[in-house]
Structure 1
Amino acid sequence: MRPTAERKISKLTLGTVQLGIPYGINNREGMLTEEQGLRLLELAWSEGITSFDTAAGYGRAEALLGRFSRGKSPFIITKLKTGVGGRIDPDKLEQNMRKEAIDSLKLLGVSSIPLLMLHNTDVLKEHGDAIEAGLRSLRKEGLIERAGISVAYNTEEEYSLIGSRLLNDLYEAVQLPMNLLDHRPLRNGWLRKLKERGKLVFVRSVFLQGLILMQPNELGKTMAKAKSPLMELHDLAGKYRFPLPQMAVSFVRDCGSVDSLIIGAETEGQIRENLRLMAGPPLPEELREEILNRFANIDDAVITPHLWAPR
């Protein structure tokens, strides 16, 4: 089932984690006030951004989206994290999922969540069937319109665990990380498989939480492994006279199997700049090939944010 006309998905989805918690290795603004956050959301809407990505774990982000969306019909993606802590009775798990969904509904101020995604894929190993039963129940009740999975790490182990689930018709959408330094969904064929099955594909981490936009000399000792690939990216940008931010957006945008890029913002200027980048030129084919070849085997410690040590 594709989105109705009232709930259009824009090519740029605004990520809202910055509205609820301090986030990003390159965050220079800190966490926004509620009023700043609301102004950011209103600007995004006025500029044609109609889809917004959030989660129950993003602090006050859901509540801010609820205040903003009164009288509007945005396409809201939110996520639940459930079944943590080992074995749990399937009936209890479904009850917990229903409670979490209702809590999100209340904060978002909607009668049905356009897209509810599972935020922690590891839980599928022990509770996959129970979670799917819970999601089907939520959809049958009308509490959610669609269900999806948010891929966490892009590792072979994760895709091995969730691969058969990703292709299940229950999950109409998949969110995954991909960027100039991490193109594993392209290499392992999963991006193609998802589109062949008609899934909506959302890509996050386009700037790798801001790392790709940093200067190599800004990195501390704990991120030393990122200096070399970051320098290579800057070298490529200079060689082709193609700005690095545009390179990052065009690379993901033009993969051919991506419905929307999820990019957060801390300022109104960043929203306008991200929209400008979305309308920017495609990569020269030679540059795309160099990116795919030169960054084929980047260390997991660089491309996996949860492995980053505090700066």
Structure 2
Amino acid sequence: MITKLAANTFVSKNQFLNHIKTNCKTLNVDHLYGYMFHNYHSFKEQEVLYPELLKARDKKIINKAGISLYTNEEIEDILINYSDFDFIQIPFNLFDNASKRKELLEYAKSKNIEVHTRSVFLQGLFFMQSKLLPEKLKSLKPYLEKLDVIKGRYNLTIETLALQYVLQKEYIEHVLIGVETSEQLMNNINITLKKQKVPHDIIDSFDISEIELLNPSNWN
């Protein structure tokens, strides 16, 4: 079980360990697998809590200390200057892919920092019909059409293509997914249990220039 310090929540250095313990009580566990800073910005605002988070790990209140990141610049700063983190959580998917992240994630692995990824379905974008895309996302239409060709050629569903692409990357330890129903959960679990051939070379060659559209917060 992993939780995180909510954005815009300020905790004093002296109260941080108790704050984490309160999280454990709320979740009805005696310790956590991981505790994270919500994002890079909130971490920088409360950097004084960094050694306290490591202290929580030393005291076995948590197993691992982590941070949620977005940009490669953020990732690089953490890997170089805050390498006592045990894991980073970042976006990684068919579009926000190895062409943009591989080198940094291999560097993380070399430093024994786990890579946890999110946004495997890019906020549902991969399930959208290209002809029904909202105006702001129309520039991604050619890439979605390429995915349609790939999944047809390899006889894969888009769920399988998206999940297996990320799961098969040796520099990624864990993949975070969101679900709305128990059926979705079971379907995704079944996909993870059977490795299927994915054309990594083709997908890795996707180098999408509309970088801002890889962040769903920019879609509105």
Aligning the two structures, in what range does the TM-score lie when normalised by the shorter sequence?
Answer: 0.7 to 0.9
Q: 1:197 to 1:304 in 2, by over 3 A?
A: same
Distance 2:38 2:99 in 1: 18
Shift of 1:160: 4.0
RMSD: 2.5
Contact 2:34 2:63 in 1 (8 A): yes
Are 1:277 and 2:191 matched, yes or no? yes
**Do residues 110 (structure 1) and 29 (structure 2) align?**
yes
The counterpart of 1:266, out of the listed 177, 180, 183, is 180
Report what 2:78 is aligned to.
162
**Change over 3 Å in CA distance of 1:301–1:228 after alignment to 2:** farther
How far apart, CA to CA, are the structure 2 residues paired with 1:99 and 1:120? Answer: 21
Map 1:76-225 onto structure 2 (within 5 A): 76-81=1-6, 84=8, 93-95=12-14, 97-128=16-47, 130-151=48-69, 153=70, 155-165=71-81, 168=83, 170-184=84-98, 187-225=101-139
Q: TM-score, normalised by structure 2?
A: 0.86
Give the Cα–Cα distance (whole angstroms) in 2 for the partners of residues 252 and 297 of structure 1: 17
Q: Work out the CA distance in 2 between the residues paired with 1:172 and 1:205.
A: 20
The one-letter code matched in structure 2 to 1:147 is A
Q: TM-score, normalised by structure 1?
A: 0.63
Separation in structure 2 between the aligned mates of residue 93 and residue 175 of structure 1, nearest angstrom: 24
State the Cα deviation string for residues 265-289 of structure 1 (Å, max 9, x = none).
Answer: 11121112101211233334xx221
CA contact (8 A) 2:88 2:114 kept: yes
Shift of the alpha carbon at 1:201? 2.4
Decide whether aligned partners of structure 1 residues 307 and 122 sit closer, same or farther in structure 2, where only a CA change above 3 A counts: same
Cα deviation per residue 1:138-196 (whole Å; 9 max; x = unaligned)? 23444323211222x2x233234323245x2x312222210000115864512112222
1:291 aligned partner: 203
Say whether the 8 Å CA contact 1:125–1:161 is kept in structure 2.
no
2: CA distance, partners of 1:81 / 1:156: 22
CA distance in structure 2 between the aligned counterparts of 1:122 and 1:308, rounded to whole angstroms:
21
Correspondence for 1:62: none
Residues of 2 paired with 1:228 and 1:307: CA distance?
19
Q: Identify unmatched segments of 5+ residues in structure 1.
A: 1-75
Please list every run of 5 or more consecutive structure 2 residues that lacks an aligned counterpart in the other structure: none
Contact 1:225 1:301 in 2 (8 A): no
1:305 pairs with one of 212, 216, 219: 216
Provide the secondary structure at the position in 2 that maps to 1:98.
helix
Partners in 1 of 2:110 and 2:193 — Cα distance?
A: 26
SS in 1 for 2:122: coil
Q: Is the CA contact 1:246–1:280 (under 8 Å) kept in the aligned structure 2?
A: no
Residues 173 and 210 (structure 1 numbering): CA distance in 2 closer, same or farther, change over 3 Å?
same
Count residues in correspondence: 220
Amino acid of the residue matched to residue 42 of structure 2? V
Distance change >3 Å, CA 111–CA 162, structure 1 → 2:
same
How many percent of aligned residue pairs carry the same amino acid? 28
- Counterpart of 1:215, as a letter, is Q
What amino acid is aligned across from residue 200 of structure 1 in structure 2?
E
